[in-house]
Amino acid sequence: MTGATIPGTLLFAAVALPALGAAASWPLRGRVRSAVVAATILASAAAALRLVVTIARHPDAATLELTGPAGLTVPLVADGLAAALILLVALVGTAVGVHALLEDRAGSPRRHPGHWPLSLLLWSGLTALALVGDLLSAYLLLELIGLCGALLVTFRGGRAPLLAGARYLVAELVASLTMLFGVALVWWQAGTVVYSELAAALADAPLGWVGLAVITVGLLVKMPLAPLHIWLPAAHTQAPSAVSPFLSGVMVKAAVLVLARLWFLSTPDLLTEDAARLLGGMGALAVVWGGLTALRSTGLKRLVAASTVSQLGLLLLSVPLVAAGALQGWTGALVLVVSHGVAKAAMLLAITCMAESAADAEVVLVGDGRPPPMGHDPQLHRLSGSATRRPVALLAFGIAALSLVGLPPTGGFIAKWYLLLGAVALERWWVVAVILLGTLLTAAYLTRFLLQAFATPEEDPPARAWDGRDVVALLLATSTLVFGLLPRLLVDLAQVGAPVMVS
């Protein structure tokens, strides 16, 4: 490691610890495996949080170079963007991991032997992706992440998860090949794939711009952005309860990170106003599409999957703001990355607990596939009385819902506030309108669920119940309150290595 202003051992630990845990947990079974997984989760989270704090203390982005065997070098970037993803992975990874370990301890059906190795490998891959400073490494890590994600979806057992995983894999394959061609084109034109060298190298290379556009299309499929999201609802719905939160909260941000690094931090001059407006327009479409789909969804996991499509659109709405020089857009997007991820994961952990106490857990989670007429849901009524049955889980859901809607005092509110500040400063009133419409839609589909949870059940409500898993969901949801009450935590982090746009 050369040129390090951040200890190399810390970077290595943040990436290597989960990977080592993945390798160690592979041959193990039973309590020994659980102990190794628990130790890995705690150690990895501690290393990740230490790294985030170290990055936050630096005024600028730190660039480093990892020298491997045979003189192979991998450039690394430790900036606010990287820190945001690493923080999100650590928070959600820890909560989901502990939730799953408690589920195993409570005697839930046997977990697939590949679950822990692939989950920990995913953690390692996402952390590495946040730090790498070249397109080639990013491509390879996105491949690893996509493969792990698609296989994890199938681990629930049964034909439907297999089909969902297969669809996911095909979408990943198409996206990867598209990106591969784009990277090859950029490399041919620029002679480099290092982010920091692309701007100068592509200045007089028209085909390089085409390469960047092709990469962008591949990344939008990987995200996925509506209407390229056809694989997402099935994959997120059919995934096991210990996988969905990671998919919906964290994995969808992987492609966003590469997109942001590519357009804002390496080739900002190449992003024309029209291109930025096009991406923002696609984001606006996703906000409305996802919101309306969520309103008509049967099953809670379907509802949450549609909500993810909508929230990803909100992230893209920041593109025209940042491209026009409004740093508030960048700050809002970064806060949204973390607060949405945490809230979405907490929500999914909470609904797993609530569905357990419902009349038919599977129907409540997955739905029956028949879209109900607007305003009437034949499945959510099964959740009546959840407020009495699982109050702690419902509280976690409620806090997460506040953040998704964007109400104070949550991280979601801070994110939307900064996005609105940027839009108003630039007088982009259509962005303001879409954010407000998205907020109304989010409030509508989440209220639909909350009303059912507080409704009185027809039969006598069973006894009040909660366990450690409900508490884990609540603790994760509470972190969105921390980001709302102490906004400088994320806002200051976003300024480390923030883009300087020429507008």
Q: Does 156 bind another protein (CB under 8 A)?
A: yes
Q: Does 164 bind another protein (CB under 8 A)?
A: yes
Q: Which is nearer to another protein, 62 or 150 (CB)?
A: 150
**Residues 391, 465: Cα–Cα separation, whole Å:** 8
Q: What is the 3 state secondary structure string of 173-194? A: HHHHHHHHHHHHHHHHHHCCCE
Q: Does 26 bind another protein (CB under 8 A)?
A: no
Is the separation of the CB atoms in 129 and 89 below 8 Å? no
Q: Using CB under 8 A as the criterion, what x/- string covers residues 195-234 for binding another protein?
A: ---------------------------------------x
Q: Does 368 bind another protein (CB under 8 A)?
A: yes
Q: Which is nearer to another protein, 35 or 177 (CB)?
A: 177
Residues in binding contact with another protein, number by CB under 8 A: 41
Element (H, E) at 65: strand 62-67
What residues pair up with 67 in beta bridges, in sequence order? 73
Planar angle of CA 83, 331, 428, nearest 5 degrees:
150
Q: Using CB under 8 A as the criterion, what x/- string covers residues 322-351 for binding another protein?
A: ------------------------------
Choices 13-21, 46-54, 136-144, 276-284; region in contact with another protein by CB under 8 A? 136-144
DSSP-derived letter for residue 464 is P
3-class state of residue 1 by DSSP: coil
**Residues 114, 109: Cα–Cα separation, whole Å:** 15
Q: Which is nearer to another protein, 114 or 281 (CB)?
A: 114
DSSP-derived letter for residue 497 is T
- Look at residues 27, 260, 6, 239 and name the one whose alpha carbon lies nearest to residue 129: 260
Q: Does 492 bind another protein (CB under 8 A)?
A: no
Q: Does 150 bind another protein (CB under 8 A)?
A: yes
What the block records as the tokens of 72 is 């192979």
Q: Does 188 bind another protein (CB under 8 A)?
A: yes
Which residues, numbered 230-269, are part of the site for another protein (CB under 8 A)? 234, 238
Choices 35-43, 200-208, 248-256, 363-371; region in contact with another protein by CB under 8 A? 363-371
**Residues 413, 403: Cα–Cα separation, whole Å:** 6
Contacting residues toward another protein, per CB under 8 A: 136, 139-140, 143, 146-147, 150-151, 154, 156-166, 169-170, 172-174, 176-177, 180-181, 183-184, 187-188, 234, 238, 362-363, 366-369
